[in-house]
Amino acid sequence: MGYCLVEVWAQQVQCIVDKFPTTYLGLPLGFSRNSIELWNPVIEKFRKRLDGWKGKLLSFGGRITLLRSVFSNLPVYFMSLFQVPAGVAESLNKIMANFLWGPEAFGPIHWVKWENVCRAKVNGGLGWFEISTRNRSLLNNRVWRYGSEDGSLWRRVVDSKYDLDSMSLLPQPPEGRKTSWIWKNISKPLAGPSNNFVNAIRFKLGDGRRIIFWEDFLTEVPSLKLSFPRVFGLVLKKSGKVCEFGSKVEGKWIWSFKVRRALFSWEQAVWDEFIRIINKGAADSGTMDVLKWEHASNGVYSTKKLCELESALGSTEDKIWKLVWSGLAPPKVEGFLWKVILGRIPTLVELDKRGALHSSSTRCALCSRDEETVNHIFCLCEIGWKVWSKWVNEWRIRLVFPNSIKQLLQMWDSLPANRALKEFWRLSFFCILWTIWLCRNGVVFNNLVYNEQKIFEEMLLRLGFWCKGEWHTSTCSINEFVRNPVLIALEEFRCID
């Protein structure tokens, strides 16, 4: 058809002429394959939202917040339909990692491995997930919706295009060269090796019209055909839905099997176990067959839960992270404590390891006695130790200091402080830690001089401002708090534990 004729038609209906590939409602149309060209708009949006100048204006906590917002919103439409190519995923991860670590004054040092950053907070990460993991979880959601959106237009189109069973709860993996690359990538887990998504899918029995009796995971065993080969060999009917092997009478399933011969005596025990298993699977049957996902308490597939499972490989949950991400301190301070516990802050020793130290000495900037390691500056440094001691002495608490900040945080949370002041007590830990670090930076970068009394006074002033922001009903002044922090805390900053 001539292009001029198309233009004439377009003018008659007052439309513009375009060509493939193009975009419609924000999604691409006409791409023959999953190319990098398809993902260029997403990459460009990531770059624009995560420009380096924005990172220079934001604290570490601010960069975490912006990254989480960009990651959870921008690529959702694309990642719920298209599988991210490995090269694109690498580019997006690199943009995010450079934004997270880039603007520091001492250079773009990536202090924590990206795979460790992309974990749930309870596993020591920052609460978002690697691009490919997030992408797979969103694609799996389309497979899950296939069984719960029977009357939807997209489901009817897929069933018609690939000649699928309209009563099935899960689609059959497509075969053949003419299969759409989009649908092939979406349904890939059903045809591939075992994975956390497919392994947790169960079929909850209802009327039995949508579950394949011998093959689907409807009992405590994955497949009746594989778990009971002797029974499968004896029965005459080798295929069919559950409703073809029995019926529901007054809420209870009555089974009907035809066998090709009488059972031997030794086969009776196997048969009895087979009946027990299917009766147990049908014990709490509802009115309709539905899917159930074992990793979710409500049985509904969760993209976040799958990401947590995938990213948790090689790590364990640690209660310490709930204390770190308590929401009491400013986000930048919580992010700082996260790095401190991981031992990934720019102390002189850590900078020397990475070839980024611009001085010849790695001695502690505060006490000048020992090497400035993470645990030394916060736990073993004489000046830092005196600051901690002055605060616990205010509360008449005796504390034997441990050798690591992680142990100190655990011990701090269990100290016998007033239960009503638990949040205030936890907030004071963040404040002391942050003030020691800021004073240390003042010594390193501005040649300031600090002793324990000056650091302690700065800590009290900062803690007073934080408390005024946390407890808005407080009527005391900052000066009153600094003069008598214990008395003011007991009167103003109590909470119900």
Q: Which amino acid is at 183?
A: W
Please enumerate in sequence order all residues whose Cβ is within 8 A of that of 260, keeping only pairs 6 or more positions apart, or say none. Answer: 234, 235, 236
Euclidean distance between CA atoms 290 and 227, whole angstroms: 22
Whether pLDDT at 496 is above 50:
no
Residue boundaries of the structural domains of the chain: 24-136, 138-308, 320-492
Distances (CA, A) of 385 to 373, 400, 425, 460: 14, 11, 17, 16
pTM of the model: 0.85
> Taking all residues of the chain, what is their mean pLDDT, rounded to a whole number?
88
Q: pLDDT of 296-317, one tens digit each?
A: 999 999 999 999 999 988 888 9
3-state secondary structure 172-234: CCCCCCCCCHHHHHHCHHHHCCCCHHHHCEEEECCCCCCCECCCCCCCCCCCHHHHCHHHHHH
Place 414 in a pLDDT band, splitting at 50, 70 and 90.
confident
Q: Residue 281: CA atoms inside 13 Å, Cβ hemisphere, count?
A: 27
pLDDT at 485 over 70: yes
H/E stretch holding 55:
helix 52-57
Cis peptide before 222 (omega within 30 of 0): no
What pLDDT, in 10s, does the model give residues 452-476? 999 999 999 999 999 988 888 778 8
Question: Distance between CA 55 and CA 69 in Å, rounded?
Answer: 14
pLDDT (tens digit, 9 = 90+) per residue, 225-242? Answer: 999 999 999 999 999 999
| Backbone phi, psi, residue 254, to 5° | -110, 120
Decide if pLDDT at 437 tops 80. yes
3-state secondary structure of 103: coil
Phi, psi angles (nearest 5°) of residue 9 = -60, -40
**3-state DSSP assignment of residue 486:** helix
Residues in a beta bridge with 278 = none
Tokens 């890939």 appear where? Answer: 188
Structure tokens at 280: 């147990």
Whether residue 346 contacts residue 376, with contact meaning beta carbons closer than 8 Å, is answered with no
How high is the pLDDT of residue 229?
93
Least confident of 20-34, 166-180, 341-355, 357-371: 20-34
pLDDT at 340: 97
- Three-state SS at 54: helix
Exposed e or buried b per residue across 16-41, where buried means at least 16 C-beta atoms within 10 angstroms of its C-beta: eeeeeeeeeeeebeeeeebeeebbee
Q: How many CA atoms lie within 13 A of 207 on its CB side?
A: 5
- Does residue 418 surpass a pLDDT of 70? no
How would you label 415-426 residue by residue, b for 16+ Cβ within 10 Å and e otherwise? eebeeebebbbb
Read off the pLDDT of residues 384-404 as tens digits, 9 standing for 90 and up: 999 999 999 998 888 888 989
Name which of 303, 294, 14 is nearest 135 in CA terms: 303
**pLDDT digits over 72-100, tens only?**
777 788 888 889 999 999 999 999 998 99
